[in-house]
């Protein structure tokens, strides 16, 4: 039994009758005590051993089966590969081939698997299951879970994580939130196939002896990877009264808007973690004014998720918080962040051999140990005056203005920066750009604007997961010089 399972078993024995999970099971809302959950996971692990499988690809909405199968796979020493629903068919095919998964559980359709040898078998904990003909992949030794990054290009990369990797980050997070989150339950809003939610909605509550609510995306308002229904989210909050959630910056903006209209929705929270991208300082300040305990953090799959996070007792609102106890960081002369202490085993067939990992992120570390992520090394713009500007930083600040949420910054090699914005009111855009500039240093201010009704359909401007292809944006914006206007004071 690995170190994470031993820690969870200790909690099970200490409080067998406390509620561990509430969630969907066979279409109905149900609860599992710690003892019931542990027994169900052990029963499923026996089934997995009998099947003799090596690697499970789990493609399923949030619910009790997801949590049970996650722990059961570890008990059976079987590698688990979560499969995001928003992956394209080609990305899923790549994931299956790269991981060598030989058992599919959950929401799989035979039509999607043409060309594979498929054998349907009896359901596993209420979920459909199929054996799939697969060659054994060269997963790295000690791999417990493979999380596939969405990738800035088409094909995701499989990050191999050990049980020790998962335990270290989960225990550090449990230690951080223990003084704050002392009752209530965590509500999983992001998909459990997302490593951050996997850790915060399953492992951390189990280590804390607390409860977690696992609802499908439709039940919390999440549709795909980029659509969200605020009314459904509000209903879930009113029904379950969670003490903690993990949100992306966009979802925090939704929560802020909801709480402005209905303050009662915000009173249940003790800890709101925000990650996935830099958060606008104005949005974070607005959340705090409403009494929302929102705290920005930073992490990456190659470090088993969270590296740093703000807390109620140690907060710097514009930063990603202080580094967790299991990690160490340094910043090189180019401003790039390096991390050590809980590095993943590596990518499939590509073990990490160095003690320190170059994150590819630009960062600053102040005298109090607060880490601020300013952008990506490869995206850094250098103006004609030699000033380095992270476009992600400016874009994050722009998200605090309703008309600027589509803003992309261009201007590499130019004397000044240009905002590319899609919006139906150029007047609103110009007004908000002037307000944005008031909070930016002169070298990062946006002096010009290209305001459009929509992006062109014949130009590849975005990656598969919705990030701007910056060289393409630069070239395209240069072609549109005749439409660029100057932003006045």
Nearest CA among 304, 393, 308 for reference residue 357: 304
Average pLDDT, whole number, for the chain? 92
Q: Please answer whether residues 421 and 394 qualify as being in contact, where contact means their C-beta atoms are separated by less than 8 angstroms.
A: no
- What digits encode the pLDDT tens for the residues 434-444? 999 998 888 88
* pLDDT of 111 higher than 70: no
As a whole-number percent, the residues of the chain with pLDDT over 90 amount to: 70
Distance separating alpha carbons of residues 140 and 73, to the nearest angstrom: 17
Q: Which two tokens stand for residue 319?
A: 């930063």
pLDDT at 413 over 90: no
Q: Which residues touch 432 (CB under 8 Å, ≥6 apart)?
A: 398, 401, 402, 403, 404
Could you give the residue range(s) of every CATH 3.40.50.12780 domain in the chain? Answer: 170-376
Distance CA 428, CA 242 (A): 37
Q: What pLDDT shows up at residue 86?
A: 79
> Do 312 and 295 form a contact (C-beta atoms < 8 A)?
yes
Q: In whole angstroms, what is the distance from residue 483 CA to residue 475 CA?
A: 14
Q: How far is CA 450 from CA 385, 456, 472, in A?
A: 22, 13, 15
**155 compared with 26, residue with greater pLDDT:** 26
Residues of the chain with CATH 3.40.50.980: 3-8+28-161
Q: Give the pLDDT band of residue 153 (cuts 50, 70, 90).
A: very low
HSE at residue 264, side-chain half, CA atoms within 13 A, is 6
pLDDT at 184 over 90: no
Tokens of 2: 């690995």
Closest listed residue to residue 419, CA positions, set 402, 406, 438:
406
Cα angle at 208 between 190 and 45, to 5 degrees? 70
Closest by CA position to 407, among listed 387, 386, 384, 430: 430
Nearest 5°: phi and psi at 54? -100, -40
Cα separation of 324 and 386, whole Å?
35
Alpha-carbon distances of 74 from 4, 20, 92, 147, 318, rounded to whole Å: 9, 18, 23, 15, 38
Q: Does the pLDDT at position 150 exceed 80?
A: no
Dmax over CA atoms of the chain, in Å, equals 71
Could you tell me the fold of the domain covering 170-376? Rossmann fold (3.40.50)
Q: In the chain, what is the straight-line distance between the N-terminal and C-terminal CA atoms, in Å?
A: 65
Would you say 219 and 236 are in contact if contact means Cβ atoms under 8 Å apart? yes
Q: How high is the pLDDT of residue 152? A: 45
Query: Is residue 154 scored above 70 in pLDDT?
Result: no
What's the mean pLDDT in 115-134? 90
If you classify domain 380-486 with CATH, what class do you get? alpha beta
Higher-pLDDT residue of 199 and 488 is 199
Q: What is the share, in percent, of the chain residues with pLDDT greater than 70?
A: 96
* CATH 3.30.300.30 domain range(s) in the chain: 380-486
Q: Which residue has the higher pLDDT, 488 or 471?
A: 471
pLDDT tens by residue, 337-357: 999 999 999 999 999 999 999
Cα separations in angstroms, 100 against 8, 67, 273, 274: 29, 22, 34, 33
Residue 415's CB is within 10 A of a number of other CB atoms, namely 9
Q: What is the mean pLDDT of the segment spanning 371-378? A: 87
Instruction: Return the higher-pLDDT residue of 371 and 281.
Output: 371
Q: What digits encode the pLDDT tens for the residues 255-307? A: 999 999 999 999 999 999 998 877 888 889 999 999 999 999 999 999 999 99
**pLDDT-derived band of residue 136, with 50, 70 and 90 as boundaries?**
confident
Provide the whole-model pTM: 0.84
Q: What pLDDT shows up at residue 385?
A: 64
Which CATH number is associated with domain 3-8+28-161? Answer: 3.40.50.980
Among residues 175, 209, 213, which one has the least CA distance to residue 12?
209
Q: What is the pLDDT of residues 7-22, one digit of tens each?
A: 999 999 999 999 999 9
The pLDDT of residue 466 is 77
């Amino acid at each position: 039994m690995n170190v994470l399972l031993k820690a969870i078993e200790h909690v099970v024995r200490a409080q067998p009758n406390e509620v561990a999970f509430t969630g969907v099971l066979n279409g109905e809302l149900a609860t599992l005590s710690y003892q019931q959950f542990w027994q169900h996971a052990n029963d499923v692990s026996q089934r997995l051993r009998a099947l003799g499988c090596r690697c499970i690809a789990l493609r399923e909405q949030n619910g009790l089966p997801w949590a049970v199968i996650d722990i059961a796979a570890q008990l059976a020493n079987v590698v688990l590969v979560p499969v995001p629903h928003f992956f394209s068919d080609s990305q899923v095919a790549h994931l299956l081939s790269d991981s060598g998964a030989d058992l599919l559980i959950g929401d799989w359709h035979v039509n999607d698997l043409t060309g594979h040898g498929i054998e349907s078998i009896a359901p596993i904990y209420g979920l459909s299951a199929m054996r799939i003909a697969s060659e054994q992949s060269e997963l790295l030794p000690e791999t417990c879970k493979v999380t596939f990054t969405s990738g800035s290009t088409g094909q995701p990369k499989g990050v191999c994580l050990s049980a020790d990797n998962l335990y270290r980050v989960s225990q550090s997070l449990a230690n951080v939130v223990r003084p704050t989150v002392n009752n209530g339950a965590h509500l999983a809003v992001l998909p459990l196939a997302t490593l951050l939610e996997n850790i915060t909605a399953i492992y951390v509550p189990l280590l804390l002896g607390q409860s977690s609510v696992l609802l499908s995306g439709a039940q919390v308002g999440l549709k795909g990877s980029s659509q969200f229904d605020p009314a459904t989210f509000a209903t879930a909050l009113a029904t379950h009264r969670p003490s903690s959630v993990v949100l992306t910056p966009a979802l925090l903006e939704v929560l802020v808007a909801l709480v402005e209209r209905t303050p009662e929705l915000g009173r249940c929270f003790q800890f709101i973690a925000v990650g996935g991208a830099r958060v606008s300082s104005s949005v974070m300040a607005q959340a705090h004014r409403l009494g929302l305990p929102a705290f920005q953090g930073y992490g990456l799959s190659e470090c088993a998720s969270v590296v740093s996070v703000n807390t109620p007792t140690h907060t710097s609102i514009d930063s990603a918080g202080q580094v967790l106890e299991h990690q160490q960081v340094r910043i090189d002369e180019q401003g790039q962040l390096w991390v050590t202490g809980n590095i993943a085993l590596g990518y499939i067939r590509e073990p990490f051999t160095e003690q320190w990992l170059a994150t590819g992120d630009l960062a600053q570390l102040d005298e109090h140990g607060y880490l601020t992520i300013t952008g990506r090394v490869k995206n850094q713009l250098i103006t004609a005056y030699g000033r380095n500007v992270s476009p992600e930083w400016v874009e994050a600040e722009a998200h605090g203005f309703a008309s600027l949420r589509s803003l992309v910054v261009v201007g590499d090699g130019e004397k000044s920066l240009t905002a590319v914005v899609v919006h139906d009111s150029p007047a609103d855009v110009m007004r908000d750009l002037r307000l944005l500039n008031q909070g930016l240093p002169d070298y990062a201010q946006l002096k010009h604007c290209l305001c459009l009704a929509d992006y062109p359909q014949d130009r590849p401007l975005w990656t598969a997961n919705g990030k701007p292809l910056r060289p393409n944006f630069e070239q395209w914006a240069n072609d549109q010089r005749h439409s660029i206007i100057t932003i006045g004071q």
